[in-house]
Amino acid sequence: MASLMDRFAALNSKGPWRAPRMGKEKALKGGRHPVLDVTAGSGSAAGSGSPVAHAVLGTPLGGAEQFRESCPDAQELILGAGCFWGVERLYWSIDGVLGTSVGYAGGWTANPTYREVCTGRTDHAEVVRVVFNPATVSVEELLQVMFENHDPTLGDRQGNDVGSQYRSCVFASDDAQLARVEAAVQAWAPRFVKAGLGEVTTETSLMSTAGDGHYYLAEIEHQQYLHKNPGGYCNHGPNGVSCPTGVL
């Protein structure tokens, strides 16, 4: 967790702010069980209870593989743009999005908890996994939503949130998807400079090479949080920079 001095420095700085990283050897070791088991219950209760469904869409909270029967070409993309509550809400109503979930990625701690991630000692980012039908919505269109609704130039902070868990990042499923992600970021980056916001700091990589290579679902109370808590905290909205897909 960022100290009060760090928060003051970050929120009063111009341009990107970076939090220290733990690295694999110094990161918290984590737990044996996931905090949410999408097949049955959560944590130590895995193996009991009913499958967990999306509170808005009624679809699975799992990845693309859980949608293969209804959409054989389903893909997934992992996006980080600050607090995952607001980011997830940007996506669940988009045509072609089959499912969303919030979780942690890009760090070293196995099965991290929200509390652990907030210490800054896991190196994870708060992220949203978007499962989508590429015949209906493209990677570029999903990225457009992200880049037009957060400030990707701030490093490890977003809005009033400070810490490495709030960094801007995109983790792709494969090389082809990563190439499209990198092309979009490269094309849109000059627009943020021109708008006076500065250089884009968004981290891009394959999901398989981001930290320990795993996406960990967050606790059930964080899933579709702003649907369950309509007046809840959210700092996401239009940033004034247009990121057209037509330039790609």
CA distances from 243 to 132, 134, 212, 238 (A): 20, 19, 31, 11
C-alpha torsion sign, points 201, 179, 192, 225:
negative
> Is the CB of residue 30 less than 8 Å from the CB of residue 110?
yes
Q: What's the CA gap between 103 and 237, in Å, rounded?
A: 21
Q: What's the CA gap between 167 and 141, in Å, rounded?
A: 21
Q: How many CA atoms lie within 13 A of 37 on its CB side?
A: 15
- H or E stretch covering 10: helix 4-11
Residue with tokens 């990625």: 105
Respond yes or no: is residue 169 known to be catalytic: no
- H or E stretch covering 114: helix 114-118
Among 71, 83, 118, 169, the active-site one is 83
Helix (H, G, I), strand (E, B) or coil at 104: strand
What are the catalytic residues?
83
